[in-house]
Structure 1
Amino acid sequence: MATKNVLLDFKKFYLRDMRLLNNLGVYVPVEKSKYPKLFAFYCFMVFFFFMGLLNGAQYLYTFINAQSIRDFAGTGYVANICSMANVKSYYIFTQRKQVIKIFNDLNCQRFQPTTEKAKKLAQKGLDFYYKANVFLTAISVVACTFSVTTPIFYPKNGGLPFATWYPFNVSTTPIHQMVYLHQTISVYYDTLINVSGDLLVAGLSTFIGVQCDLLCYELVEGRSDSLVDYIKYHQEIVRLAQKSEQIFSRIYFFQFFATTTGLCMTLFLITLVEPNTVEFLFLVIYLAAIFNLLLIPTLFSSELRRKSENIPMAAYSYPWVDAPKSLKRDLIFFIHRTQTPIQFQVLGFFNLSLEVFLKMVRNYKRKTNRADINAGDIKKAVWDEIKNKTAIRNAALTFNISNTTLYRHVKKLRSQTQHFQIDDSANESLSEGDSPHMPKYVQKRTECT
């Protein structure tokens, strides 16, 4: 596509994200490298030596040393998320030609704003993406920093950040320090690649959404006497969305699986640690980071859908009243074609949308509330049982008989009554001859005998 007058440089805006991917070892050469072989070797080392070795060591520990659900969750909640960095690197590498082609077409003439007002409209969408970029990167880096510094305050995993299995002794010096440094570098690679991959989806969603805004602006203003340009413009937007979906569809199929399992394991671990500990704080921050890994892409994808839904209304606002019949026919055809909103899908199974994310959150909330109710019922039952046993022990001391004998009488009385309650309040008045330690059901039992 030809590029003439560039009113807004989209390539320059997204170039820092592409450079970050390259610096992290994701092989997407949007710029020519002076040393292509050295760059390829660096990407190979990051993929296998750092990320692959750490993720493999975590899964080996899970299958070899994990003996309980807690051990399994304590490794899986990190390993599943970290392994997504390898998945994203692989699929972006296999689709690198498509990514480079999309990047080179960002500044084509058709995608450029035509007026200063349209430029401000596009810049508004880009600014929102930049703020989300900074927020997601910051919270992910904080969670990553907590994960590598937690062993300093809370010794675990043999003094290492993550529970891993190696075929050699890692407790000796300097092997321990080298493994610690390797895990630290690897998890930063995993974190930043995960974030960059999600931001790449958010960035493409933002760009396509900006194009929908520009198309709506052009339609409302009626700057062209022919609808052919608008139809071709809309076709280019749809084609760009389809190319983007081909790149990221498989990635988010695996990401939904990894994120949901990571959320379940993290919530399970939160219930097992004390609230006022460093580990609890780390798990809470890590949980927020996992939620954002799904929230940001689904939020931007839903925003893209919302903006694409405005196109039919903008087309109806086109000045068609005094137009010829041929233009009216084209307008009806255009409105009919734009009724289907632009939406990213995950392998055709479900939409990458905020609705799916909210359904998942409501499901977690429902299960958490159910667990709280069950926990309350269990606590009440345990407390009632403690009161029963305490009352039986006090009565046994009063009558100078064994607990077993008295418990047998109580069990028989309980089976004969439908409503069995214990009330051994010391504030109630006792009749003459009653023992102050005797519960009421024992007093009634003695009266009957």
Structure 2
Amino acid sequence: MIETGTGCKEARIVEWIPEQTMQQNYDFSSYFRPSIIILKILGFWRPERNMKFKGIYNCYTALCSLIWVQFLLSQIIYIINNRNDVQEVTAVLSVTVTFTINLIQMMFFYKNTNYLKILIKEMNRPLFQVKCQKHYHIAKNTERMYKLMFKSCLYLAILTDALVTVVPLMGKEKKSSIKGWFPYDYTKPLYFILTYIFQKLVFIWNTFICLNTAMTIIGLLTQFGLQCDLLCCTLDSLDDFYTEGNVLYEISLEDKLKLTKDRERFSIEMTKNLVICVEHHRQIIRVVKDVERISGTGLFILFVGGGLILCSSLFPLSVSSLILQSAFNTPWIGCNVKFQKIMLLYMMKTSKPMSILTGGLFTMSVPVFVSTLRTAYSYFTLLQNIQ
């Protein structure tokens, strides 16, 4: 804490303790709560070690996975039986590939659930917390944007499931929109009803699992973008903060005016603040690398099946390039050479953009997505020529 005299110091304590308490308890984990609840209901959120009825829940997860595999087997056998009919194979292949990609991606997600839990908890660390009203408003706006995105995707998922379930039954001929092989004559009324319910339940189940696993990853990526925004805001107004216990707090206007009159003390305090910002930036990079390590392969698979969604979700990371400009906006002119040297080294560090590698092969970006679309179109053209 900055020493400004006993009276001033006591006044600051009375004024700022409630603010510090409010600022250091922003619950970033609330982003993930709806997705985690849905994944628990669907059986694909790894339980805690001390969870009651853990064995029963694991059996439920295994049963759900078995049903998913049975659905895929019916698709694969149907493709093998109709391998000479390009139209039939193509009609089933889109569903088969989608569900296979979703299953593999879900397996990687489930495997790394415990690591994801740790990352989610880390987002509430004091270093990542909001530190002033500007930070709070940025965090709130980002949270509202994410919740709007989640609700919109949830609404579209429900609408899609409803249409896929109801529309095939509206025609004169009752038939399923999903083809597959079954060891019985599923055209008979009773068998048709049971098969139809089985396929639609798997489809709905798959939709909600994919939605919430994707939204969990998107939530983490949104957090990275938010942390970059908070860091930019801090650097833009670095002289509005002071350091206490390796945490930044907003300084009062009176203390700020007194501090700026003493160039040496001002440089010392700005250096402390800058060190915290450097550590903040380092921790953001570390968490990004942790996400890359535990979910890079799963993201690669998801990127292949839905590149557009991931390119949109990774957009928040692009704001990391603004950190360099925000660092330049700090009051470095009024500081000593030591501060300026640290600032120069830090700006050189921030000049390198953050990114995530998928499968250790390439960085997910718009050019890569365009390349994926071109490949898909080439495949579509090939099928047309074969037909």
Deviations 1:155-212 (A, max 9, x none): 78x8333111122332335332222111111111111111112212211110011011
Shift of the 31–108 alpha-carbon distance from structure 1 to 2, 3 Å rule, reads farther
Higher relative contact order (CA 8 A, sep 6+): 2
Deviations 1:349-407 (A, max 9, x none): 222223433454577789999x99x9xxxxxxxxxxxxxxxxxxxxxxxxxxxxxxxxx
Q: What does residue range 238-317 of structure 1 map to in structure 2 within 5 Å?
A: 238-257=285-304, 259=305, 293-304=306-317, 306-317=318-329
Measured in 2, the distance between the counterparts of 1:335 and 1:351 equals 23
- What secondary structure is seen at the aligned counterpart in 1 of 2:32? helix
Deviations 1:236-288 (A, max 9, x none): 1011111111232212322344x3xxxxxxxxxxxxxxxxxxxxxxxxxxxxx
Give the percent of matched residue pairs that are identical in Structure 1 and Structure 2. Answer: 19
Deviation at 1:343, TM superposition (A): 1.4
Measured in 1, the distance between the counterparts of 2:349 and 2:128 equals 20
Match for residue 237 of structure 1 among 284, 287, 300: 284
Counterpart position of 2:344: 332
Counterpart position of 1:270: none
Structure 1 letter corresponding to 2:200: T
Shift of the 173–365 alpha-carbon distance from structure 1 to 2, 3 Å rule, reads closer
Deviation at 1:4, TM superposition (A): 7.2
CA contact (8 A) 1:213 1:307 kept: yes
Structure 2 letter corresponding to 1:303: P
Structure 2 letter corresponding to 1:244: V
Structure 2 letter corresponding to 1:316: F
Q: What does residue range 29-428 of structure 1 map to in structure 2 within 5 Å?
A: 29=47, 33-49=51-67, 51-154=68-171, 159-222=175-238, 223-224=241-242, 225=270, 226=272, 227-257=274-304, 259=305, 293-304=306-317, 306-361=318-373
Shift of the 142–18 alpha-carbon distance from structure 1 to 2, 3 Å rule, reads same
* 80-89 or 356-365, which deviates more: 356-365
Q: What TM-score comes out, normalization by structure 1 length?
A: 0.68
Q: What TM-score comes out, normalization by structure 2 length?
A: 0.78
CA contact (8 A) 1:161 1:183 kept: no
Measured in 1, the distance between the counterparts of 2:161 and 2:336 equals 62
Counterpart position of 1:20: 38
Deviation at 1:60, TM superposition (A): 1.4
CA contact (8 A) 1:311 1:338 kept: yes
Deviation at 1:124, TM superposition (A): 1.4
Structure 1 letter corresponding to 2:330: Y
Shift of the 155–24 alpha-carbon distance from structure 1 to 2, 3 Å rule, reads farther
Shift of the 14–41 alpha-carbon distance from structure 1 to 2, 3 Å rule, reads same
Shift of the 192–84 alpha-carbon distance from structure 1 to 2, 3 Å rule, reads farther
Residue ranges of structure 2 left out of the alignment (5+ in a row): 1-19, 243-269
Measured in 2, the distance between the counterparts of 1:183 and 1:366 equals 31
Greater C-alpha radius of gyration: 1
Counterpart position of 1:441: none
Deviation at 1:64, TM superposition (A): 1.7
Shift of the 363–171 alpha-carbon distance from structure 1 to 2, 3 Å rule, reads closer
Deviations 1:68-97 (A, max 9, x none): 211111101111112233112211121122
Measured in 2, the distance between the counterparts of 1:80 and 1:17 equals 24
Residue ranges of structure 1 left out of the alignment (5+ in a row): 260-292, 375-449
Deviation at 1:142, TM superposition (A): 2.5
Counterpart position of 2:249: none
* 180-189 or 63-72, which deviates more: 63-72
Measured in 2, the distance between the counterparts of 1:85 and 1:367 equals 21
Shift of the 363–44 alpha-carbon distance from structure 1 to 2, 3 Å rule, reads closer
Structure 2 letter corresponding to 1:48: L
- What secondary structure is seen at the aligned counterpart in 2 of 1:348? coil
Measured in 1, the distance between the counterparts of 2:128 and 2:378 equals 45
Structure 2 letter corresponding to 1:247: I
CA contact (8 A) 1:215 1:233 kept: yes
Matched residue count: 334
- What secondary structure is seen at the aligned counterpart in 2 of 1:174? helix
